[in-house]
Amino acid sequence: MTRIAAAFERARLENRAAFIAYLTAGDPSADATVALARALDRAGADVLELGVPFSDPIADGPVLQRAAQRALSAGTTLEIVLSAARRIRRDTNLALVLFSYLNPLLSRGIEAVAREAREAGFDGALATDLPPEEAGAYQPVLRAAGLDTVFLVSPTSPASRMREAARLSSGFLYVVSRPGTTGARASLSEDLEATVGRARRAAGSLPLAIGFGISTPEDARRAASLADGVIVGSALVREAERAGEDREEAVGLLARSLVLACRRESQDCGRKPSC
């Protein structure tokens, strides 16, 4: 069982959804990223998506765009991301997902990235702009290195794409809660339950995790009632941005409130399309 699979199994046995956090590596520094990862671990997070900053983050909203720019301005490279991952692997129990656009991975070489990521302590990889139809040359290389591969589906994904994304995924299938870019929203989509239901039919026993737009305990509670995992990125990055030097405490407090919201009140809530 991989570390990611173990995180979801542990959450299932504890009658809760796994909490998956996202950080942009190097924002505002590698040391700050490692410190924030430790704070998330103490708060009860299960999985950390560690983002590789990219100059053209087309899927990201303003919060994550600013984070990527700060990280790039600080000189963050893929090598620095890997170095930060080694420190996080040493200091925490978090399962780690390398979260990147495809271009930085291709620039270094997929084979090299897969090997180095696994050696650095990553447990999985997600290329946010790699559709399943074009993954044939990449997914086997990542899996051969011992990395889980995570693909995304959205409310606009047809059944065929959901099935293919689920077939290529291990660890979990990432369900985008709504079309558009990342970023906190006032509320989750009204058709989220239908999207999760379609993804569940495609995924079978593969865990589902909902991301994009989750920012409050209320959002997390609703997502936890529908899926096996809850993903929060922009809200945590925004909190770190707002808090400045107090970022570790602020992010830890927010994460703890979201982790608590992932608990389920009834054993009947786990893997149903609604609860």
DSSP, collapsed to helix, strand or coil, labels residue 2 as: coil
Distance separating alpha carbons of residues 62 and 145, to the nearest angstrom: 34
- Spatial contact of 47 and 94, defined as CB atoms under 8 Å apart: yes
Distance separating alpha carbons of residues 183 and 213, to the nearest angstrom: 5
Distance separating alpha carbons of residues 136 and 155, to the nearest angstrom: 23
- Spatial contact of 129 and 104, defined as CB atoms under 8 Å apart: no
Crossing angle of the two packed helices 62-73 and 234-243, in degrees rounded to 10: 60
Distance separating alpha carbons of residues 226 and 207, to the nearest angstrom: 11
Sign for the CA dihedral angle at 233, 238, 244, 246 comes to: negative
Scan for tokens 């997929």, then name that residue.
110
- Spatial contact of 87 and 36, defined as CB atoms under 8 Å apart: no
CA 80 to chain centre: 19
Q: b or e along 133-156 (b: 16 or more beta carbons within 10 Å of the residue's beta carbon)?
A: eebeebbebbbebebbbbbbbbbe
Token digits of residue 57 = 């983050």
Provide CB contacts within 8 A for 136, sequence distance 6+: none
Active site residues: 49, 60
